[in-house]
Structure 1
């Protein structure tokens, strides 16, 4: 159809389509924000809300206390292990020094009477005792950490029992909330889709068609794109059922539209030639001729063949002769291309 438009009109049409797309883009952005924020209408649900009270609150406090004890015991155990390692290192270093000293000194008297030997032996005994004390502290802290870990595991197991009991009512409440929020979104988008359908039927060729088409694009996007991610799943059954229903509705409408179109075409082909050409819009006729198809039945026709003046499929006149100069011309032209004489039987200009 654009081939039959004037050059300036083509650019105006493209500009208006940009206006329609920009209008739709801003509406889609606003609609996406509104649809996304509708989930905040309902309160957020947590699993803990459906657990047995006050048992859950007491157990939660106990679990937090046991975890704190476990963390403190772990920190104390790390400190005790560090002290034990230091004690072991000191004892080992002093023993090596003592052994080296014994190997190099000249013993002139009995070793048990040597004051230096006795002194160093006592030092080694003291370091060994410190090492044993540090090891005992490590063992005590390990026991404390083990007790705290077992108490924490016990409290955690009791907490899991409460969670399992609350999981089913929590899931039911989540599904009910999901359905309510989806209902809010559906109540918002369904009227938009209905209004878009009415605008498409009655206003799509009006004076303000860019805004009409922008709203139609927005409504279709809001319903078929933005609403789909929030569609309840229930194992996929709802999505498949909705998909089947939409497919049946769209397919039925397509079949009905095709039947109506074929009936209109059959009725039009039964009309007289002149009357048929008068009912065709001028721009539509020129657009179809530019594609080498019959303006009446939309079937392929070899328009370059000078012997063809009528459509071989529906019989509508494609070429005639100017009443003034007898030049062969298109039967849909408003003026003769040879002499400029008006063709009174030409189709009406698009309103």
Structure 2
């Protein structure tokens, strides 16, 4: 910021820059919301959309039914195993009791106990039969669980094969959808960037420059921050190609801008000194002088040397003397700092 600028003007300009940033912030928020909602214009597709509309639902129903049958078989199997354990325990206890009683029977050899022997044998056969029935129930539930598991696995294998066959088509459609959404975003942000470039070239020094700069900040942010992350990759080729194109375009613009600048400088340096100083902006000239460069050619000049009244590079006058008080003064100053005489009346 130029040292010649008034103190209140400096703070006004800072306030206007704050207005520009606040305006840009609200625009960025609005733009981010719009860009984020753009994918909703496309119906979101999933892999299921590319499967056989008749076979896929049937296989999924088969898998669900097999899972349900498997859970039911497992629950029944747990109950059957519990009953088997009970039957086995009853059978073991009955055989132990029978063995003890039979040992007593051999010791006493009482014929009247033959009828009880027959009854105990029958009871033991009943316990053995109950154990066998419980074991049969366990085996049946294990078979039912195995059948359900195999049915589920076969259906899942078929569904997996169907999904693999449809995956390439799904990925191609997904890439096409991402590209369309990106083009929607590009169609929204690219005109903003073009408008920002025009405003930068034509209106950045106008009366309403805070809104111009706020819009420029917003457009640059929307294009390079909100758009670039959505750029389709395609293995990285698109990003690198876009980066190369942007670099070439930007570099070409910078090179041509530098060439035009050098041409303008050469043409300006060929003009008379009075005309060059008349066309040079007052604040810009003071700003360059404060940085130790010539206001005309922008080359370094030792401003502290009292002998440097003219630029040794382009010949532009840097200092002169007041005709009223003979003080050495800045050639661009509007008034003499020694006596206050207007510069256009007091130079020689």
TM-score by length of 1: 0.86
Residue of structure 1 in register with 2:286 after alignment: 286
* 1:319–1:329 contact (8 Å) kept in structure 2: yes
C-alpha spacing 1:128/1:275, structure 2 compared with 1 (3 Å)? farther
Q: Is 1:169 aligned with 2:169?
A: yes
Alignment partners' CA distance in 1, 2:258 and 2:273: 24
Structure 2 residue 22 is the aligned partner of structure 1 residue 25: no
Segment drifting more, 41-50 vs 137-146:
137-146
Q: Deviations over 1:288-331 (max 9, x none)?
A: 11111221122222111112111122221111101211100111
Alignment-derived partner of residue 67 in structure 2 = 67
| Partner in structure 1 of residue 203 of structure 2 | 203
2:336 corresponds to 1:336: yes
Q: 1:309 to 1:88 in 2, by over 3 A?
A: farther
- Asked if the contact 2:182/2:230 (under 8 Å) is kept, the reply is yes
Partner of 2:215: 215
Say which SS state the counterpart of residue 314 (structure 1) adopts: coil
Deviation at 1:86, TM superposition (A): 5.8
Aligned to 2:43: 43
Secondary structure at 1:329 match in 2: strand
1:4 aligned counterpart, secondary structure: coil
Tell me if structure 2 keeps the 8 A contact 1:278–1:345. Answer: no
Q: Show the counterpart of 2:182.
A: 182
Partner SS for 1:234: coil
CA distance in 2, matches of 1:145, 1:287: 88
Alignment map for 1:9-158 (pairs within 5 Å) = 9-84=9-84, 110=107, 133-158=133-158
Shift of 1:63: 2.1
Q: Give the superposed CA RMSD.
A: 3.1
Q: Secondary structure at the match of 2:320?
A: strand
Greater displacement, 264-273 / 171-180: 171-180
**Partner SS for 1:3:** coil
Is the counterpart of residue 310 in structure 1 residue 310 in structure 2? yes
2-structure distance, mates of 1:26, 1:345: 51
Residue 229 of structure 1 corresponds to 229
SS of aligned partner of 2:3: helix
- Give the CA deviation at 1:342: 0.6
Mind listing any 5+ residue stretches in structure 1 that lack a counterpart? 347-351
CA displacement, residues 269-302 of structure 1 (integer Å, 9 cap, x when unaligned): 1111121111111111111111112211222221
Moved more, 247-256 or 269-278: 269-278
Flag the 1:187–1:325 CA change in 2: closer, same or farther, 3 A: same
Label 1:83 to 1:255 Cα distance change in 2 as closer, same or farther (>3 A).
Answer: farther
Which position in structure 2 is the counterpart of 1:3? 3
- Contact map agreement 1:50 1:166 (CA 8 A) in 2: yes
Task: Give the direction of change, closer, same or farther, for the CA distance of 1:147–1:109 in structure 2 (3 Å limit).
Answer: closer
- Cα gap change, 1:112/1:166 in structure 2, threshold over 3 Å: closer, same or farther? farther
Structure 2: runs of 5+ lacking an equivalent: none
**Counterparts of 1:152 and 1:9, CA distance in 2:** 79
Report the equivalent of 1:159. 159
Q: CA deviation at 1:59?
A: 2.0
1:71-106 Cα distance to aligned partner (Å, 9 max, x none): 2223333343455556667778x69x97xxx8xxxx
**Which runs of structure 2 are paired with 1:252-263 in the superposition (5 Å)?**
252-263=252-263
The TM-score normalised by the length of structure 2 is 0.86
Q: Residue 326 of structure 1 aligns with which residue?
A: 326
